[in-house]
């Protein structure tokens, strides 16, 4: 077997809010869908109702967003109570190009009041990373190789 690409699917409570959350840190809106099919211009709704499935993208990757289905959600917990085994949502690593880019993403997320589960940390395995927590409890380990 040869897998060409993996697209995670996140169970979210609100499609438009989740899209805006991703857009605020630099992701793009790719497409939206509801019972009537694809929504023109990736809008939040059309005559068939609100979007219930969508995709956001960054670089060459996409994440699917499914409203109230396909997986579980986690948290939220106060930052003081966050740990590796405390979340019920999806965990994934986002690899950015440089440590400077990682620090920029962290600074933007902090300015926007997003939940940071762990501040930028230089890890012994040669990366710098921080934990960014989606409002529905999904945890993104934003990572960059040190020295990049």
Tokens 């809010």 correspond to 17
pTM: 0.90
Residue 75: what are its φ and ψ, rounded to 5°? 30, -150
Chain segment 7-27, per-residue pLDDT in tens:
999 999 999 999 999 999 999
Question: Which among 121, 117, 79, 84 has a CA at the least distance from the CA of 103?
Answer: 121
| CATH topology for the 9-67 domain | glyoxalase-related enzyme like fold (3.30.1900)
CATH class, 79-145 region: alpha beta
Question: Which among 124, 134, 48 has a CA at the least distance from the CA of 89?
Answer: 134
Chain segment 91-135, per-residue pLDDT in tens:
899 999 999 999 999 999 999 999 999 999 999 999 999 999 999
Q: For the chain, what are the domain ranges?
A: 9-67, 79-145
């Amino acid at each position: 077997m040869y897998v060409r690409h993996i697209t995670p699917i996140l169970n979210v409570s609100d499609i438009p809010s989740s899209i805006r959350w991703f857009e605020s840190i630099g992701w793009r809106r790719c497409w939206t869908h509801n019972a009537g099919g694809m929504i023109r211009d990736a809008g939040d709704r059309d005559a068939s109702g609100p979007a219930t499935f969508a995709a956001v993208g960054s670089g060459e990757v996409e994440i699917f967003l499914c409203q109230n289905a396909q997986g579980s959600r986690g948290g939220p917990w106060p930052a003081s109570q966050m740990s590796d085994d405390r979340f019920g949502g999806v965990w994934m690593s986002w690899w950015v190009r440089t440590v400077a880019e990682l620090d920029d993403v962290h600074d933007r997320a902090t300015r926007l009041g997003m939940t940071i589960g762990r501040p930028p940390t230089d890890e012994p395995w040669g990366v710098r990373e921080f934990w960014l927590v989606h409002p529905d409890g999904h945890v993104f380990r934003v990572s960059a190789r040190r020295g990049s």
